[in-house]
Amino acid sequence: MVGSKAGRERRIHARAPIGVIVRLEGPDGARHYYSKNLSAGGVFLLAEEPLAEETLVEMELFLPLVSTPVRAKGEVVWQQRQEPSGFAVKFHDIGEGSQKLIRWVVDRYLGRPGEEREP
């Protein structure tokens, strides 16, 4: 059960309720979504019609305080049909620098100093 409380306790990355624009390229072409939350391991995207689990996607995340979009590839690992509906994408191909930028933004949002220097 990915959506269970036990599933949430297994997270290894800090997650913050950060809304960013995400350009996602999937099997049906490119679309823009808005995130509900973000971590260095993945993102939850709001959508009236969530993508199916196991869908592979490429994305660009437009992070606050970062001048260029962060690029990543991932897989839809969970969907939620009740409000707020959407789907979770787990990053599986993301550069170390991109992951550090996401971690930096999340840490700042959560009020933690973090290890990385400002981008």
**Is there a domain that residue 115 lies in?**
no
Q: What is the CATH number of the domain that holds 100?
A: 2.40.10.220
Number of domains in the chain: 1
User: What angle is formed at CA 43 by the lines to CA 5 and CA 22, rounded to 5 degrees?
Assistant: 155
**Is there a domain that residue 118 lies in?**
no
**Is there a domain that residue 10 lies in?**
yes
Domain hosting 52: range is 5-109
CA distance between the termini of the chain:
36
**Is there a domain that residue 37 lies in?**
yes
**Is there a domain that residue 80 lies in?**
yes
**Is there a domain that residue 20 lies in?**
yes
**Is there a domain that residue 117 lies in?**
no
Q: What is the pLDDT of residues 80-102, one digit of tens each?
A: 988 899 999 999 999 999 999 99
Nearest Cα neighbor of 66 from 97, 23, 105, 26 is 105
Q: What is the pLDDT of residues 33-51, one digit of tens each?
A: 999 999 999 999 999 999 9
Give the global pTM: 0.84
